[in-house]
């Protein structure tokens, strides 16, 4: 089964390395995307919020529209990676 996996781009972190690691473990049918677009995040089957070791700084860097989409997605989906 194919799924979309969005790595949240909020302007911080080494997202290229995260994307490469996810692509390595994903199936060949999975779509891995780095995006800060709230609509793409809401439509994703899975989301990855990288950089939670610095959660305060990360949340401070997220614009309000992206923050609202992320909160809504987390409330609707019980499985997330960080």
- Indicate if the pLDDT at residue 39 is higher than 80: yes
pLDDT greater than 90 at residue 20: yes
pLDDT for residue 76 is more than 90: no
Separation between Cα atoms, residue 8 and residue 81, nearest integer Å: 11
CATH code for the domain of 38: 3.40.50.880
The Cα–Cα gap between 38 and 22 comes to 20
17 lies in some domain: yes
**82: in domain:** no
Question: Does residue 5 carry a pLDDT above 80?
Answer: yes
What digits encode the pLDDT tens for the residues 22-36? 999 999 999 999 999
Q: Which segments within the chain are labelled E, that is strand?
A: 4-8, 31-35, 46-48
Count Cβ atoms within 10 A of the Cβ of residue 40 and give its class: 0-12 exposed, 13-18 middle, 19 or more buried: middle
pLDDT score, position 64 = 86
Residue ranges making up the domain that contains 65: 4-76
Report how far residue 36's alpha carbon sits from residue 52's, in angstroms, rounded to the nearest whole number.
16
Residue 47: is its pLDDT beyond 70?
A: yes
């Amino acid at each position: 089964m194919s799924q979309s996996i969005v790595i949240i781009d909020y302007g911080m972190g080494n997202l290229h390395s995260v994307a490469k690691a996810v692509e390595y473990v994903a199936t060949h049918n999975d779509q891995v995307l780095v995006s800060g677009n709230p609509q793409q995040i809401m439509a994703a089957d899975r989301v990855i919020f990288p950089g939670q070791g610095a959660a305060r700084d990360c949340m401070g860097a997220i614009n309000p529209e992206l923050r609202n989409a992320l909160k809504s997605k987390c409330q609707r989906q019980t499985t997330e990676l960080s």
